[in-house]
Amino acid sequence: MKIFNPSRNLILATTIFLVFIVPLRAQDSPQDFLDAHNQARAAVGVDPLAWDETVAAYAHDYANQRRGDCALEHSSGPYGENIAWSSGDMSGVEAVNMWVSEQADYDYGSNTCASGKQCGHYTQIVWKNSARLGCAKVSCDNGQTFITCNYDPQGNFVGQWPY
């Protein structure tokens, strides 16, 4: 004889929700950050980055420092760094894609950005000597989002091409 068990049904419904809905909102895992970076790197023939727990710990510590104000300020630390801010919930992949979109404003032949444009986020992502990556995302106290990715060794040296 089957007995209707509301607790069991709620657990089953929650599990189904988590299995099918939560992965759609992912895009903040180390692998998500790596995949987005390495796709851009592969497009220009640069070796893939590897996730590094030391670099990720640095990114996590700095992101937590920004939790109180969500200020778009660089850490000035020992690594290359890209940062992003959103008034809402931005995913890690969305941040990386935003930085990669700067490729449209980068001219490889002259190794310059288009006038009035930024492309340093993009060039850091594809910097040939960078080998290790660590990223972090925090929801700030004011409801905004702060994302940072750090690169070791850092790139964007004046007079050098990224790849």
**Domain of 108: which CATH number?**
3.40.33.10
Beta-ladder partners of 149:
82, 135
| Model pLDDT, residue 11 | 35
Number of domains the chain contains: 1
Asked if residue 115 belongs to a domain, the reply is yes
Q: Is residue 37 part of a domain?
A: no
Q: Locate the DSSP E strands across 11-122.
A: 50-51, 80-86, 106-107, 112-113
144 part of a folded domain? yes
Asked, for residue 18, whether it belongs to a domain, the answer is no
Tell me whether residue 145 is in a domain: yes
Whether 55 maps to a domain, the answer reads: yes
Does 161 reside within a domain? no
**For the chain, the helix, strand and coil percentages under 3-state DSSP, each to the nearest 5:** 40, 20, 40
pLDDT at residue 13 tops 50: no
pLDDT of residue 1: 41
Average pLDDT over residues 65-82: 97
* 8 CB-near residues (< 8 Å, 6+ apart): none
Burial of residue 74 (number of CB atoms within 10 Å: 0-12, 13-18, 19+): exposed
pLDDT beyond 70 at 25: no
Q: What global pTM score does this model have? A: 0.84
**What confidence category does residue 26 fall into, taking pLDDT thresholds of 50, 70 and 90?**
low
What is the mean predicted confidence (pLDDT) over 121-144? 98
- Is residue 108 a contact partner of residue 122, using CB atoms and an 8 Å limit? no
Kindly state whether residue 134 falls inside one of the protein's structural domains: yes
